[in-house]
Each structure stands twice: as structure tokens, then as C-alpha cells.
Chain A
Amino acid sequence: MKVESTHLEGVPVVRLSGRFDAYEVPQVRAWFDANKPAKAVVNLTGVNFLDSSALSLLVQQMKHCRERGGELALSCVAQPVRIIFELTRLDRAFPIAISEQEGVAALSFRRN
């Protein structure tokens, strides 16, 4: 799995690709632990599989962002992964945007 990060309008964007499961979770968690963002967009374009451990990591990081007064948004969620979010109804808990730009915009509208 690849983990890349950049900034868009001052907001950290994490781009993930590959299989996002229990084995990859520590790598993504390490990025969040190192950066401790209040706001972040996680781009899931390249993620073709995501298990409950990965979902749980996103839930935890959403919680941490909120504790810091911010929010976590997802962007570019491919259909197989979107189905998992719909099954768990976490699609209603996370802002899910169609692009990184829209994800950043969603963060500025939420929890302000």
C-alpha cells in the first residue's frame, strides 16, 4: 500500500492506494500520529479493498480530528469501497466528497 501526503489550501491530504487492511493500518496510523492534523482529507481513489480495521482507523482519526476542533473528510471513494461505507452506514458519519478540492471545502463548512 502507498501512503502519500500533500497540502491543499493548507489542509493535509493523504492519498492511499492498494489494499487497506489490518496489515496496512499501522502505516497509515503512523502518518496521523506524526502529523496530528485537526483537519484532513483522505483520498481513497486507489484503494480497492478496505476491512474493518481500516474503517476503525478512520473512525479513530475522525474522533481525534474532532478532539482538535476539526474534521476528517474522505474523497474519491471507489465503488467497491463505497459499498462498505454504505453497509456500515459510516457514509453518513464521514463527509464523502468526489474530489480532494470538494473534500477541503466540506471541511470548512462542517463543525464551524
Chain B
Amino acid sequence: MPPTLRIAVVTAHPPSSGSLTEYAFHFFRYLRRKPEVDELILLGDELPAGKQYVFDGPGAKVTVDPCWRFDAIDNAWRIRNAVSKHKPDAVLFNIQFASFGRGKVPASLGLSAPWLVKQLGLPTIVLLHNIMETVDLKNAGFGGNKLMESAIRIFGNAATRMLLSADMVALTIPKYVEILRAKYGVDNALLAPHGSFDESPPPSLELPPGPLQIMTFGKFGTYKRVERLIEAFSLMQSSARPKLELVIAGTDSPNAAGYLESMRQRYSDVENVRFTGYVPEEDVRRIFGEAAVVVFPYTSTTGSSGVLHQAGDYAKAVVLPRIGDLAELVAEEGYTGEFFDPDDANSLAHAIGKIIDYPEHRKQMGLRNYRAARGLPMDEVVDWYLLHFERLIGERNRSQPLPA
């Protein structure tokens, strides 16, 4: 089959520090390799001076057009104009509710981009990683007071309706599909598997010599917070255990600048805590590989966690909060973990201890999570999207026949 598809993807992508970059990196990587894809057009965010998008290696041609900026109010219009300029066959948005800004206005305005692009007559799919109905606004950094939260909900509903004007809105959790279909009366919300990122052979279940590493990974400061984790770690060090190290891998959330530095200062008396800062793609495998356990110090959840899938990819035991989506994800997708009360450092210390104190339990849990993560490789998930695009493009061509 000759390559024919030119697909524009609106997303933050490494080395951007925006959200969903990890997912975008892997999705893009596999999409590029598909024989039916002729060209990918990355409509990414503008990078700081000195950074640039790099796409080497085999795969379809990549055109990069940094056409939006986090927190700008004209992102939707600029994205629409970029799509109009490049004239792709179809457009995919890889987004969540705060993708385009930390401020309420830029975040909401940015979410009108799929609606504007749809007006160009192009098949449009939104891969939406969270939904407004399940976001804890306060924990996600958008709350302030009840009145404000109500106002945000109203804007959120309006933004959701705009997103639903896309041909399809893909979600990675069945419950999200049910909520959107029921609340908004739509039938274009659909379930698409999250997919696993890695294609490596089964990793070793053994750990490197040195301290047992308790690791957390992500962008911190909103709903991912490390206070209880550091306190739990402090409690654990005081008991008779082999030497431990807490590894906090990642950066501040775009919505919480300065958070990790404030944590470093606040808990400077706790020993053996390492803040890695930004983790380059090539270091992710090592960071996960060295960890004895991966902890999810979430106070709420705003979507299917890419980190959980990564932990599974690397056959890691996990410790999860006893709340919302993550617990459901564990049950629905075959993962397993130890659970803790997100407000209780003792509970978290106990959950971590159940893993690091019992190596066989740790290995069994890691193996099971590896099998769960391997359920559907990203390579195959990408085929689902291509199948949907192919249908949408076919329908558009039938309704708008090309001139003879």
C-alpha cells in the first residue's frame, strides 16, 4: 500500500515541557512508522530559545510547525490557521483540559481549536486524557473558591461541547465514555486503549546493587504532590531496613512553578532524597529500571496515568492512592498494586513497606503489571486511530467528491 495519509497532530511534544509530552512522543514514534502515513505535521508549542524539535531515524516525513504557546489566548486561531496552511488529510488533538494554559481563559479558548479546525471540513479526532466531570479543580490548580469552581464548571461544560464537535473524541477509560455520552447526548465519544510505550524484551526483575530506590515520576505540584511521600519516606528510614533512597523524578507542573524547589527546602532535613529534575527520554529506562517500587502520590486523578503504564512496561511494583480513576484502572486493565490513603503518610509507608520488604511479592507484582501493560502495544493502538481516520476520510470524500 503506498503511503497516502498526511496527518496533523496538535500536541505538546518533547522537548516541550507541556503536558502529555511522553504520550505524544510514543504515539508520534509509532504513527511515523506506519506504511500508510506519508507525512506527519507536528503542530506543537513554541519552544524556549536553544531548544528544538528533533525527528531522526526511520519513518514518514515530519513537518514541524510550532504554532501555539502555553497560556496564550490566540492558540485556537493560530492552530486553525496552521491546519489551513498545511492542508492535512486529518487532524488529531492529543490534549487534556489544561493543555493550552494554566489561566482559565487561555485554557478554555485553546480548547475551541478542534471546533475551529472542524469548520475547515477536515476529519478531526480529539484524544482527550481527562474530562471536566472528574477533575478535582482544587487539586488540579484551578480552584480558589466555590463560586469560581462553579464558573469553571460552566466554562468546562461549554469547552467539552466544543471538543465534542470533533468527529470523534477518544477516551482511555470506559467510564469517561459513558459520562460524556450520557451527559451530552453524543455518540461520537469512544474508548481507545491507552497502549504501552515500550517494545523491549521483558526487563529483569532484579535490582541493581545499592540503596533500594522508591521512585515517583511525573510533573508535580498540582494533584501530584510529594509531601506525604517524603514524610512516609522519613518514617521508613527510621525502621530497621536496608538503606533506602527516595527518587523524585521530573519537574514542576506547568501550573505549579517552584513547587519542587519549595519541597526541597521544606524537607531539607530528610536524608537520602534525590530530586532528578527533568528526565531526558534516554534516561527514562534507567530511572524506572533502578526503582524497587514506583509510587503515585496523587491527591486526585485527572485521567488514565501514563506513568502506570510505564511502570508496567518496566515490570515495576506500584503503590497507588485509594481514590478514583487509578483504582478503576488497576481493576479494569489487569494491573495490581498496594494502596494507601492519600492523606496519611503512615498508610503510604505501610504500603511501600509491603513491597520493598518482600522481594518475591515485589517481583510477582512487577511481572503481573508487565503483562497488563503489554496487553496492547502502542503500535496497535495507532492502527485503531488510522482505521477511524480512514473511515472519516472516506465519508468526507463521498460527501465532497473531488472534481473530475
Interface set of A (CB-CB < 8 Å, partner B): 22, 51-53, 56, 59-60, 62-63, 66-67, 87-90, 92-93
Instruction: Name which of B6-14, B89-97, B184-192 contacts chain A.
Output: B184-192
Instruction: Check if A52 sits within 8 Å of B193, measured CB to CB.
Output: yes
Inter-chain contact A53/B383, CB cutoff 8 Å: no
Q: B402 at the A/B interface (Cβ < 8 Å)?
A: no
Q: Once the chains are docked, how many angstroms separate the CA of A56 from the CA of B192?
A: 11
Confirm or deny: B344 has a beta carbon within 8 angstroms of a beta carbon on chain A.
no
Tell whether, in the assembled complex, residue B383 and residue A89 are in contact, meaning their CB atoms are under 8 Å apart: no
Give CA–CA (A2, B14) in the complex, Å.
46
A92–B375 Cα distance when bound, in Å, is: 23
With both chains docked as a complex, state the minimum distance between the C-beta of A49 and any C-beta of chain B, in angstroms.
14
Interface residue SS majority, chain B: helix
Taking a contact as CB atoms under 8 Å apart, the answer to whether A89 and B387 are in contact is no
Cβ contact within 8 Å between A87 and B174:
yes
Contact (Cβ within 8 A) B168 A60:
no
| Contact residues, B346-392 vs A (CB, 8 A) | 375-376, 380-381, 383-384, 386-388, 390-391
Q: Known pairs A53-B376, A87-B190; list 19 more (Cβ under 8 Å).
A: A22-B375, A52-B193, A53-B375, A56-B383, A56-B384, A59-B384, A59-B387, A63-B383, A63-B386, A63-B387, A87-B177, A87-B191, A88-B384, A89-B168, A89-B191, A90-B384, A90-B387, A93-B387, A93-B391
| B181 to A, closest residue via Cβ | A87
Interface of A is mostly: helix
Q: Report A-chain residues with C-beta under 8 Å of the C-beta of B387.
A: 59, 62-63, 90, 93
Q: How far is the CA of A93 from the CA of B190 in the complex (A)?
A: 12
Q: Which residue of B has the minimal Cβ distance to A22?
A: B375
Picked from B177, B376, B386, B391, the residue with its CB within 8 Å of the CB of A92 is: B391
In the complex formed, the residue of A with least CB distance to B333 is: A52
Smallest CB-CB A-B distances: 6 pairs: A89-B190, A56-B380, A87-B191, A52-B193, A93-B387, A67-B1
Q: Is the CB of A89 within 8 A of B174?
A: no
In the bound complex, CA of A5 to CA of B333 (Å): 31
- Taking a contact as CB atoms under 8 Å apart, the answer to whether A89 and B380 are in contact is no
Q: Which residue of B lies closest to A21 (CB)?
A: B375
A59 and B191 contacting across the interface, CB-CB below 8 Å: no
Interface size class of B (residues with CB under 8 A): 20 to 34
Footprint of A on B, CB under 8 Å?
A: 1, 168, 174, 177, 188, 190-193, 375-376, 380-381, 383-384, 386-388, 390-391
B380 touches A59 (CB 8 A): yes
Residue of A nearest to B387 (CB): A93
A67 to B381, CA, bound (A): 18
A–B pairs, 10, beta carbons within 8 Å: A53-B376, A56-B376, A56-B383, A60-B383, A63-B387, A87-B177, A88-B190, A89-B168, A93-B387, A93-B390
Bound-state CA distance A67–B192 (Å) is 23
A48 to chain B, nearest CB (A): 18
- Give CA–CA (A83, B191) in the complex, Å: 11
- Shortest A4–chain B CB gap in Å is 25
Instruction: Give Cα distance in the complex from A59 to B376, angstroms.
Output: 12
**What is the CB-to-nearest-CB distance from A61 to chain B, in angstroms, rounded to a whole number?**
11
A56 to B193, CA, bound (A): 10
Task: Please give, as numbers and ranges, the residues of chain A lying within 8 Å of B192 by CB-CB distance.
Answer: 88
Q: How far is the CB of A96 from chain B (nearest CB, A)?
A: 13
Chain B nearest CB, measured from A72 CB (Å): 11
CB of A111, distance to nearest CB on chain B (Å): 9
User: How far is the CB of B160 from the nearest CB of chain A, in Å?
Assistant: 18
With a cutoff of 8 Å between Cβ atoms, the chain B residues found around residue A92 in the complex are 391
Contact at A52–B375, with CB atoms within 8 Å?
Answer: yes
Q: Which B residues are CB-close (under 8 A) to A90? A: 384, 387
Bound: A44/B384 CA distance, A: 20
**A66 CA / B391 CA spacing, docked (Å):** 12
Return B197 CB to nearest CB of chain A, in Å.
Answer: 16
